[in-house]
Structure 1
Amino acid sequence: MTKFLDTLDKIGRLDKKLQEQLASVQWFCENGSIYEVYLHSLNLEETVERLVLLTRVLPAYTGVRNAKLEVEHRIKDCIPVEIGFTEERWFCLRIPALLPKKAGGSADYIRSFLYPAMRAFFEKRPPVRYQDCVLIYRHVYDRARPERKMRDHDNIEINMVSDIVAMYVMPDDSPAVCSHYYCSTAGQEERTEVYVVPKKEFPIWLAMENTMPDEGVELYEKR
């Protein structure tokens, strides 16, 4: 139980830090210091990310059988990743958050829910390998927050998603296999959509992009 107790101690220290940061955010908010609210909110978000990662490994340290599997089930319920194929037979993945998250440990956070979701989806399906394709990132930001439109495309979070997607639907994500395309659009809820489209069909996807429904295109389990 040494690892369990050590992790529990780290959680306790982070929880104390979280309470202090909450108090700071509230104080600056009540005093109208909006930029300070923003800065301290970022620190608060980072602490929560670290807490999530630690609490996710805690059940496994008890030694109880299938603890990791049970945690993955709960992650799936809390972070509903949508995976499937469009009517045009393009692969599509929808993550209920904008990338990058820009917080410490966020790449590990993304790996912790995305990899199990992809593994579960392809567990009983034949492998898919798109050749000479375009890997598309469509960032859907809240139209009430237009400042969220600007996204950083060269970051570890997006690279993490690309690696996991390539693992299941492409030989790899090198320039020899795929090109990359990034775009942003307004919607009711923030999310990140990832498409893998054959390069010769990319103009079709591009023409369709402006007319995609707010909730996203319909996805099917089979290609």
Structure 2
Amino acid sequence: MDENDSFFKLKEQLEDAQKLMGRMEQYIVEARGVLQSCIRRQSEFQYAYLGDMIQETAKTSERLTDKLRRMTLEIVVNPKEYEKYKEDLVLIHGIELEYKDEILRVSAPVLIPHRKDCYTDYLYKPLHTAFRNWCMQRAEEKLEIPTYTNCTICFVHVYDETLPLARVRDHDNYEEKHVQDIITNFFLQSDSGLYTNTCHVTRMGEEDRTLLYVMDSSKFPAWISDFGKETGIEKNHE
């Protein structure tokens, strides 16, 4: 491919990105109109439709982000610059990892997708990048990278307490497998049911987020008994 072909390809990619931006703006305008209607009528009658518009906006935004990421990979030829870009992505997404008392804690500022959602990369790709960067940094600093054989993974789903309770999903409606696969790739010897247990907890909090706790199964009973004190989030919703 010569230089002109490369520029033509970039031109097409930028045009596609601009179309996605236009579509996203349309969804936002529609969502604002629905929200104003809810406020005016003081009713949650159209709340489901508002949620649909927000989801479409978010999915379109993710497609736009994915397209721009691919363009970045094509244009940025300096490996150090690209690695810095990927590190910045983890900070932008707000994913945090902490290892303390042989328990790995992961915090992500989003809820795990519904198991029927067709677009889930908004969580899984940044999560994979965050795990990889964290492990690389630990290796460089000669710090322990935990590996679990018989373990329990606890998924804590925290919902924004100011939003309708109808948003809260049953535990069997979360797409946990992809998250568990990523955890397995970095920290587990096996994700077989013989060696790995999962636990789901739902709580109300100041904002939507997901907390993941990975620990040896022998630690789980004591940990879960102190769970509320450790997290500072409550089960009951007044």
TM-score scaled by length of structure 2: 0.77
Label 1:191 to 1:27 Cα distance change in 2 as closer, same or farther (>3 A): closer
Q: How does 1:49-128 map to 2 (within 5 A)?
A: 49-66=62-79, 67-86=81-100, 88-100=101-113, 104-106=118-120, 108-123=121-136, 124=139, 125-128=143-146
Q: Residues 83 and 93 of structure 1 are in contact (CA less than 8 Å); yes or no, is this contact kept in structure 2?
A: yes
**Is residue 149 of structure 1 aligned with residue 161 of structure 2?**
no
- Max radius of gyration: which structure? 2
Label 1:25 to 1:186 Cα distance change in 2 as closer, same or farther (>3 A): closer
Label 1:174 to 1:8 Cα distance change in 2 as closer, same or farther (>3 A): farther
In structure 1, runs of 5+ residues without a counterpart are 216-223
**Is residue 18 of structure 1 aligned with residue 6 of structure 2?**
no
* Alignment counterpart, residue 192 of structure 2, candidates 162, 174, 181: 174
Report the 3-state secondary structure (helix = DSSP H, G, I; strand = E; otherwise coil) of the residue aligned with 2:192.
coil
Structure 1 runs of 4+ with >6 Å offset = none
**Once the 2 structures are TM-superposed, how far is the Cα of residue 172 of structure 1 from its aligned partner?**
2.4
**C-alpha separation between the residues in 2 aligned to 1:103 and 1:171?**
28
Q: Equivalent pairs: percent with the same residue?
A: 19
What is the aligned partner in structure 2 of residue 220 from structure 1? none
The answer to which structure, 1 or 2, has the higher relative contact order (CA under 8 A, 6+ apart) is 1
**C-alpha separation between the residues in 2 aligned to 1:187 and 1:31?**
27
Q: Residues 158 and 202 of structure 2 are in contact (CA less than 8 Å); yes or no, is this contact kept in structure 1?
A: yes
Report the 3-state secondary structure (helix = DSSP H, G, I; strand = E; otherwise coil) of the residue aligned with 2:182.
helix
What is the aligned partner in structure 2 of residue 44 from structure 1? 57
Count of residues in correspondence between the two structures:
212
CA offsets per residue over residues 10-45 of structure 1, 9 Å max, x none?
212211211222222233333447243332222222
When the two chains are superposed, the root-mean-square deviation of aligned CA atoms in Å is 2.4
* Alignment counterpart, residue 197 of structure 1, candidates 215, 218, 237: 215
Letter of the structure 1 residue corresponding to residue 33 of structure 2: W
Letter of the structure 1 residue corresponding to residue 70 of structure 2: V
Query: When you count helix as a share of all residues, which structure comes out higher?
Result: 2
What is the aligned partner in structure 1 of residue 153 from structure 2? 135
Letter of the structure 2 residue corresponding to residue 187 of structure 1: G
Label 1:105 to 1:39 Cα distance change in 2 as closer, same or farther (>3 A): closer
TM-score scaled by length of structure 1: 0.82
CA offsets per residue over residues 125-175 of structure 1, 9 Å max, x none?
44432111111111122222344432554554x322211111121112221
